[in-house]
Structure 1
Amino acid sequence: MVVEQQLLPYFQWLLTGGEKSLGALPSFAFVFLGVAMAALVIGFAIAASRYGFLRGGDVTYKTISEGLRELLQTSPRRVWAIARLAIKESLRRRVAVALGVFFLVLLFANWFLSTNHQEPARLYLSFVLTASTYLVLGVALLLSAFSLPGDFKTKTIYTVVTKPVRAGEIILGRIIGFMIVITVLLAIMGVGSYIFVVRSLDHSHTVELESFQVVANPAGEEVGKKGTTSRDAGHRHELTLDKDGNGETTVENGHTHRIESLGENKYRVSPPLGFIRARVPQYGKLRFIDRSGAAKDTGISVGSEWTYRSFIDGNTPATAIWTFDNVSDAVDPNVPEDERSLPLSLIVRVFKTHKGVIGQALQGTIQLRNPDPAANGLTSEPLSFDAQDQQVDDFNIPRKQYSQSRQEIDLFKDLVSKDGKIEVLVKCLDRGQYFGFAQADCYIRHPDGSPIASFAKVCVSIWVQAVIVVSVGVTISTLVSGPVAMLFVVGFIILGFWRQDFVDIATGKSYGGGPAESVVRIATQANVMVQLEDTLLNNLVTGFDKYFAKPIMWAVAQTLPDFRSFSTVRYAADGYNVPWDRVFQDVTVCLGYVVGLSIIGYFLLRTREVAK
């Protein structure tokens, strides 16, 4: 799973932020203050142009003072009345049609989705959650963009404003009403999606008795059997049974089955296990050693433009090293002490410079090392593994280990330092081949969380995006017509998905310069890596970008929600638990947008004669 940025604890994210960023609360205060000052200047300029300088200042002051007083006097009862009105309006617009479209999509989805896939759970979960996202955002867009313009067109807004209802209550009530509608729709879609995935992936096998082979111990006594299952859902499993006839199959297509003996040559195969998971990883800190043995922060680049992963070359001293803290937290206390192991997972990105041996996987090794200087680099013997490209490979490293000098050592007593740290070293053994790693590609597994709870958290992230869309749509619809509001919100969503590119251009991190310089490069077919010639036109273009275009882009980026980062579909699809810190952060950002846009919408609605 891609984790490009470390997830901060909620209160650290809210108050102090990371090394290169402010906390969310100070950032919100700065952005809110900036937007308020810009609105004040623009409002005063409009008022001054209409009424004169002094009268314009008086009008601006009265508007702000009256507006703040009205906002503080907002009545929850009147807001709820407007919210109920928005719900009834949504039902009249047949918003339930979205549910019909959704279930129609699920009805025919199995024509195009297949369980005969390397990871069918990822395929199915990605499909249903992505479909839910698009449908919910579409409904949020249409409801919010055409609500107030429709009332202005039919003049039903006059019935509302003649009541003792303030403009702010109209805005907040509609946002809350549409939010309730979206919540109900998403809840129904979420339940339907989960049932669809579980039932679509459900299957079973039978044990093929003719495939049995006896497993004996060194003394020749029978201790179990090996065999295979029948081929169902496009695959079969190998299985191992103990002497009582019970056992488990191997992992195929991301799942296993338990085998239970029912008597003489009769077995029950359980439903699939492990399809839908909620892994709880504990990440470490990654560093590298290059082929010469020198310490590096990153590995080798193999030419990929995406620098998320870097690589180590095979059959050299090049090593990827993860340092983990608090190792004892991952140990299951219910397991007897002598049977405890270190649950470790590894994701390898394989890069080949030649085909190698056809049908043979690349070989790698895992070693554990005590990072305490007093341990003199005590390291375990290498554990060999077959690299599974872009797949999660789970290891349960036993407590009993041997040092490189073949002395028996204890994993938790000898390889874990006194402060609870351990190092995991991974190497590639094949010459001319490469292993690629990112920091999140190796982790210690904690006990899995609840898949249903994790799925619900993904639905919360979809809900957050929809609520922001509703807030933007209701706010902008106070000023423009429905189609224009819809186009504005669509543009807002698109820009939100590309927010990071805005920031990179504004801060000079992207190639090709600003927007004006990019136009020049396109017109002259100049490479983005080539410096523009020192001419008057080029200097004017770069100056325009530096002092005008880039500051505007940076300011716009600060007000845009990062829709791409809101999505947690990859968590569920890849089988990881969505952290609560992530949920709290997304909901907090959503609340900030609702509050800020409600205030902006109030002042925009007051500019309409009908709202005065």
Structure 2
Amino acid sequence: MTAPLFGILQLDRGDPWGYAELQGLVQAWLQDAGGFAAVGLAVYLLYALATPTDKSESERLRVPVSTWMLGMAALALVSYAIYLALIIFKKGEVPVPPPPPPGESPKPELPVWHGQAQAIALMIGGLFSLLGLCEPFVRDLYKILRRNVSFNSSGAKRFGHALGTYTTGLMSRRLLIAVGGAVAAYLAVGAVLFAIGAPQLTAIWAWLLAVGAGVALAALAVLMLFEAEGPVWAIAKLSFKEVIRKRVLWVFLIILLPALFPWQWFFPSKPSDELRNTTGTITFVLSILCLVPGVLLAALGIPDDIKSLNIFTIVSKPVERFEIVLGRFIGYVSLMTLVLLGLTGISVALIANTSVSPQARAETYKARVPHRGKLEFKSMLAQDRQEKKDFEGTNVGREFDYRRYIAGHPDSPQRGIWKFATVPTDLERPEGDRVPLEFTFDVYRMTKGEQDAGVLTNFTIATHNAPQRQPSKQEGAEWRWVDADQGADYAAAVQRLLTGALIDARLAARLKGGEPKTDQERAELRLAQRMKSLAEKLKANGVKVTEADGLVTTEPANVSDPRPGTPAWKAVSALAEEFGFFELRGKRVLDYTVMGIEVPAGLFRSANQGTPGKDERGQTLPRLAIYVKCESPGQLLGMAEPDLYLLRNELRYEVNFFKSMIGLWCRLCMFIGVAVAASTYLSGILAFLLSAGIYIIGLFTDHLTDLATGRNIGGPFQSLSQIVKAEQSTAQVTDSAGTRALMFGDKIAAWFFRRFQNLIPDVESFSWGHFVAEGFNINAEYLVVNLVVTAGYLLPWAVLAYYLMRNREVAA
């Protein structure tokens, strides 16, 4: 994901990961995590073998080697040997995607399942390595879970006892006076606001009251959880209280809290961008407020314990060392989760009760549920074009080549086409029998044109029952129906709806007559049957249809300019259902503005009827295709795949904002986990710097991918050579021994970058602020995948922390 540009949602890196990518993610995780596990297992076994047998018993217990570990190591070695042999003999290779066309940004490859022999061998080798290395970890983790987690009656009793303890503590006289005074003062403020007639301030007051009560109840539940039996909960409680006593968190909150107020309170902005700016700013500030103090405190926790000698008291008790790591992690995450919950509630309270311009509310104060298609560009047939190849959209030379453009002219054959392989059934019977089609296009002006009037655009929507075809040079620029007879029937049906005479005397006689003999008679019979079917659909839509003596009539309908909710709209919907075709001409489209048109739902009922056939190339026809044409001469209309979509539903902005914080919570867990794991071996500052470095590099995974795959112009060694020689990066490389040595060094560097890349999480895939800022709903599957990826990323760090903590000398 990238940040929104000029007020639009951009998905230039492809759609977020969903359930379809889970298989590929699991395979990639086994390959990557298994590769590091193989290195760790080899180092561990070598260290264990190098340990002298005359060492003390405690030394040998710290590096145990079981038969299971040796067996898994042997199986992993065999798997990696097979993988190496496959590479040498070039068998079972995973296909490499072709490089992107010149001027087009590459999209990251989706984590799909690869069934090739090399991918399977690498995955199996990683699985065996993980099974071998994690055997002590799993055994001790099971022991820790049995000690700290119980689901019997004793656990319920302890919870009840903790509840009684905290209730008794809250009932002390001094605390009751303080809490009662604060509540009374807050209620008094609310009464004053209500009395003076300030509805927005009163609403903010009520929201903050609800947020405070919710956070207080959540904090009480967390503290009671910490009263459970087990050292993990005791250490978590200790960590929770330590952070509260420290001033780092409160300093961050006090300094940056004003940044959570709406943007328009401080800075003027374009009315339609008020909510975008506010959401983007608050999301960024929330990230700083939660991540920086959370990671800093987590990195300093264990090193401070060692420095103050507190850890000696802990390890002298019957406490597993990994319980210290788990307790610290749970304590820090619990506190920062409460902070995140409170700050999010405050932000939503201020946004929801602040005056926002009507343009901003119409564009972004919602959570759209879109249905997207695949975009392609078409023009005249390839053999009739000067380039002798299919049109792929025009590149206007902008540095950011996210969009391609079609030329504007009444006779232009260029089209941007969105193809939908599926059509949701909930679009067949929507309220008002209409479905919004929204879009945001870029207008690139070749001439001055008519300022502030937009460009004229035609929308043609056809189902697989009414396929359209590219024009040839002899036919002109207009796209035509594949079935010309069906197109003629549609034009005749439009004229008959305008007059109201669906079946006149001539068509009625044709229905009663015998077998047609001429082409004209066959065309009349076909049209009469179509009109009879259309009449049935009109009646189903609630349109009055009169039948008498074989004649079928209805009220004349202005189908050339229908309005939703009118009889003409019902007629248009029936027409679209019968023919699978709808067209809107002359829509004025403004530059970078969220706009839309209404589409009759009958079109989607037609789309879901029957099975799509094949086109002239043998490919399956889409159930629905939307053709966009620019009519204004001298203008170009720019579009990208996410710029047009069918609107399925609109949900609440506030709920969507809270959902976006799940991505931030995942990042919080990941980097607190990294900080805690690193602090088991490094000092606090180094652990913090390591976590911060991984996070910052994770913001630039695209550039890291370019370095790892060699897609950039020149590697580090070649670039360094050009800098020394004062050469341009695009200068032609000479074929010499020195150049070949530099390129070989770049290949080795790319290999190391690929290994390093596996340690870096894609931070942007957990950022959903741009979805909220642009008013798009965050699908639940995106968040579920975020949680799965977070767990997968934390597990290797947990194993590393387990081994580092167990083998660190911390006893007094």
Query: Same-fold call, TM > 0.5?
Result: yes
Structure 1: how far apart are the matches of 2:590 and 2:662? Answer: 33
Q: Helix, strand or coil: the match of 1:386?
A: strand
CA contact (8 A) 1:461 1:566 kept: yes
Tell me: CA distance 1:301–1:116, structure 2 relative to 1, closer, same or farther (3 Å). closer
Match of 2:707 in 1: 505
Report the AA paired with residue 539 of structure 1: R
**Residues in 2 aligned to 1:611 and 1:4: alpha-carbon distance in whole angstroms:** 53
CA distance in 2, matches of 1:566, 1:135: 17
| Shift of residue 537, structure 1, vs aligned partner | 2.1
The residue correspondences of 1:242-257 to structure 2 (distance < 5 A) are 252-255=358-361
Q: 1:536 aligns with which of 733, 737, 743?
A: 737
Structure 2 residue corresponding to 1:322, chosen from 404, 412, 418: 418
Q: Which of 190, 194, 205 lines up with 2:348 in the alignment?
A: 194
Matched, 1:13 2:18: no
The structure with the larger Rg is: 2
1:365–1:428 Cα contact (<8 Å) kept: yes
Percent identity, please. 26
CA 1:200–1:394 in structure 2 vs 1: closer, same or farther (change >3 Å)?
same
AA aligned to 2:726 is: Q
Across the aligned residues of Structure 1 and Structure 2, the Cα RMSD in angstroms comes to: 3.1
- How far did residue 282 of structure 1 move? 0.1
- How many residues matched? 525
For 1:32-111, what aligned pairs fall within 5 Å after superposition?
32-43=33-44, 61-62=64-65, 67=137, 69-74=139-144, 75-76=147-148, 77-94=230-247, 95-106=249-260, 110-111=264-265
Work out which of the residue numbers 263, 266, 281 in structure 1 matches 2:370: 281
Out of 170, 175, 187, the residue aligned to residue 329 of structure 2 is 175
Tell me whether 1:25 sits opposite 2:121 in the alignment: no
Contact 2:458 / 2:585 at 8 angstroms: preserved in 1? yes
Hey, what's the Cα distance between the residues in 1 that align with 2:309 and 2:701? 38
Matches within 5 A, 1:95-174: 95-106=249-260, 110-114=264-268, 117-174=271-328
* 1:428 aligned residue (630, 635, 645): 630
Structure 2 counterparts to residues 536-575 of structure 1, below 5 A: 536-546=737-747, 548-575=748-775
**Larger strand percent:** 1
- Aligned equivalent of 2:72: none
Change (3 A) 1:87 1:430: same
Residue 299 of structure 1: aligned partner: 393
How big is the shift at 1:8? 6.8
Q: Cα distance 1:42–1:519, how it changes in 2: closer, same or farther (>3 A)?
A: farther
List gaps (5 residues or longer) in structure 1. 16-22, 203-232, 234-251, 257-273, 400-409
Quote the Cα distance in structure 1 between the aligned partners of 2:590 and 2:607.
Answer: 27
The aligned amino acid for 1:193 is S
- The secondary structure found in structure 2 opposite 1:609 is coil
Q: Distance in 2 between matches of 1:531 and 1:566?
A: 40
Deviations 1:57-108 (A, max 9, x none): 9985549665553233224333222222211121121334433334333359
Please give the residue correspondences for 1:363-382 in structure 2 after superposition, counting only pairs within 5 Å: 363-372=456-465, 376=482, 378=487, 380-382=582-584
Aligned counterpart, 1:247: none
Q: What residue number does 2:798 align with? A: 598
Alignment-derived partner of residue 84 in structure 2 = none
Inter-partner Cα distance in structure 2 for 1:556 and 1:603: 21
* Structure 2 match to 1:245: none
Deviation at 1:43, TM superposition (A): 4.3
The corresponding residue for 1:520 is 721
In the alignment, the residues of structure 2 paired with residue 46 and residue 532 of structure 1 have an alpha-carbon distance, to the nearest angstrom, of 46
Whether contact under 8 Å (2:368, 2:776) holds in the other structure is yes
Structure 2 vs 1, CA of residues 382 and 539 (structure 1 numbering), >3 Å: closer, same or farther? same
Deviations 1:542-591 (A, max 9, x none): 11121x21111101111211002210100000000001111001111111
SS in structure 2 of the partner of residue 321 of structure 1: strand
| Aligned: 1:490 with 2:579 | no
Q: Cα gap change, 1:596/1:302 in structure 2, threshold over 3 Å: closer, same or farther?
A: same
State the alpha-carbon separation in 2 of the partners of residues 352 and 51 from structure 1.
78
- Distance in 1, Cα, partners of 2:312 & 2:636: 70
Mapped partners of 1:545, 1:49: distance in 2: 36
In the alignment, the residues of structure 1 paired with residue 710 and residue 458 of structure 2 have an alpha-carbon distance, to the nearest angstrom, of 41
**Which letter does structure 2 place at the counterpart of 1:28?**
W
Q: Which residue is 2:449 aligned to?
A: 356
In structure 2, the partner of 1:259 is none
Q: Is the 8 A contact 2:428 2:605 kept in 1?
A: no
Q: Distance in 2 between matches of 1:415 and 1:302?
A: 35
Tell me which of 425, 429, 441 is aligned to 1:333: 429
Change (3 A) 1:282 1:561: same
> Cα offset for 1:288?
0.8
Q: TM-score, normalised by structure 1?
A: 0.79
Task: Give 1:307 deviation, angstroms.
Answer: 3.4
Instruction: Supply the distance in 2 between the matched residues of 1:466 and 1:296 (Cα, whole angstroms).
Output: 47
Q: Which amino acid is 1:558 matched to? A: N
Task: Give 1:348 deviation, angstroms.
Answer: 0.3
Task: Supply the distance in 2 between the matched residues of 1:356 and 1:32 (Cα, whole angstroms).
Answer: 58
Q: Which residue of 2 aligns with 1:458?
A: 660
Conserved in 1, the CA contact under 8 Å of 2:316 and 2:811?
A: no
- Tell me, in whole angstroms, the C-alpha distance in 2 between the residues paired with 1:536 and 1:151: 56
Q: Displacement of 1:176 after TM fit?
A: 1.4
Q: Give how far 1:414 is off.
A: 6.0
- Is the partner of 2:599 in helix, strand or coil? strand
In the alignment, is the contact (CA less than 8 A) between 1:168 and 1:599 conserved in 2?
Answer: no
| Distance across 2 between alignment mates of 1:39 and 1:297 | 52
Confirm or deny that 1:583 pairs with 2:795: no
Distance (Å, rounded) in 2 between the aligned partners of 1:478 and 1:509: 37
Residues 116/494 of structure 1: CA separation in 2 closer, same or farther (3 Å cut) = closer
1:346 deviates by 1.1
Q: SS at 2:359's partner residue? A: coil
- Which amino acid is 1:201 matched to? S
Alignment deviations for residues 15-43 of structure 1 (CA, whole Å, 9 cap, x no partner): 1xxxxxxx111211122211112223344
Could you give the per-residue CA deviations for residues 395-454 of structure 1, whole angstroms, max 9, x where no partner exists? 11346xxxxxxxxxx645667763482211111122232111111111100111232221
Counterpart-to-counterpart distance in 2, 1:451 and 1:590: 25
2:443 and 2:591 in contact (8 A); partners too: yes
Shift of 1:164: 1.4
| Runs of 5+ consecutive residues of structure 2 not aligned to the other structure | 1-8, 67-132, 149-229, 468-480, 488-580, 613-622
How far apart are the structure 2 equivalents of 1:372 and 1:398?
16
More helix by share: 2
Aligned equivalents of 1:358, 1:575: Cα separation in 2:
28
Asked if the contact 2:379/2:391 (under 8 Å) is kept, the reply is no
Which has the larger displacement, 295-304 or 438-447? 295-304
How far is 1:167 from its partner?
1.9
Q: Quick check: 1:4 aligned with 2:12?
A: yes
